[in-house]
Amino acid sequence: MKLKQRVVLLAILLVIFIFTKVFLIDNLDTSAAHREDQRAFQRMLSGLRVALEPRLEHTLQSPWEIAAQWVVPREVYPEDTPELGAVMHAMSTKKIIKADVGYKGTQLKALLILEGGQKVVFKPKRYARDYIVEGEPYAGYDRHNAEVAAFHLDRILGFRRAPLVVGRFVNLRTEIKPVATEQLLGTFMTVGNNTCFYGKCYYCRETEPACADGDIMEGSVTLWLPDVWPLQKHRHPWGRTYREGKLARWEYDESYCDAVKKTSPYDSGPRLLDIIDTAIFDYLIGNADRHHYESFQDDEGASMLILLDNAK
């Protein structure tokens, strides 16, 4: 082989060697970064796992007392919640000692009192899990499993602004009717072989009851916030008009955001940032119905936007 050919061959081998080395180093770096990402993801998953068991670290307190102590102006529950599982277990298993119609609103719900005096909101199952609601984004009934999913998304995002939610099966005949108020009991009926009720609310109709499978009804249970933290309701600045053909100001006025930023409580404090967080949250859960929102009362814009009613 001539010298010139040898030089060309050596140059080619050198180039191949350099590219191979760079590729291997990059690949090793990528693999190391990938492994670290996997470890970080596993650590996050481990921190999010909740074991639903009745054991409490503080044996002198009830689960309801513990949950009440968690609430502060900027979170409903703390990041490190070793007793979260015990509180959620109590929500899904404690005896129901009273049942009443839900608090005012547009959607069917029941107000339950659990053993120990804790209030919870029960939203009944209205759709199969794979049912697709047609029409407007805010159409149809509340979805009980959306409340459960929204609570866990709130945990994943680290917001900690949604009250605790669990799924629960209740026997309407043996658990609810014996402790129901006359007002709630008056809305019960039997459809075929199924026990049903239609409750009291803006859109509640005798012709549109929620029905159990026989006597067993699936639903979501949301923990009532402590009474020492009264709520204040606000109109959402980016709410819909809910009128066909009528646009809200934010839909046509390009200067609207600037106007909001000059209006209390969005001109100072964290409230406007909470609105942005909530917009992301609602997009992820598919909620197009946040026309109002709640904060703690007399907070002068300092408290969080509380993530309530996430079932649309």
Beta carbons of 293 and 305 less than 8 angstroms apart: yes
- Check whether 107 is labelled as a binding-site residue: yes
Question: Each residue of 139-151: pLDDT tens digit?
Answer: 899 999 999 999 9
pLDDT, tens digit, 9 for 90 and up, residues 134-184: 888 888 999 999 999 999 999 999 999 999 999 999 999 999 999 999 999
Which listed residue (100, 289, 298, 299) is catalytic? 289
Confidence band of 7 (pLDDT split at 50, 70, 90): very low
224 is in an annotated binding site: yes
30 is in an annotated binding site: no
> If you average pLDDT over residues 106-121, what whole number do you get?
96
Give Cβ neighbours of residue 238 (< 8 Å, ≥ 6 apart).
Answer: 248, 250, 275, 279
The answer to the question of whether 222 is labelled as a binding residue is yes
- Give yes or no: 289 in active site: yes
Separation of alpha carbons 146 and 128, rounded Å: 12
Q: Which CA distances in Å does 85 have to 2, 41, 64, 71, 112?
A: 78, 21, 12, 17, 20
| Confidence category of residue 74, pLDDT binned at 50, 70, 90 | very high
SS3 for 10? helix
Residue 174 annotated as binding? no
* Per-residue model confidence as pLDDT tens digits over 188-228: 999 999 999 999 998 899 999 999 999 999 999 999 999 99
Please name the residue ranges forming H helices in 52-181.
63-70, 84-93, 144-157
Does the pLDDT value for residue 310 go beyond 60? yes
Question: Mean of the per-residue pLDDT values for the chain?
Answer: 88
309 is in an annotated binding site: yes
Token reading at 133:
């609601």
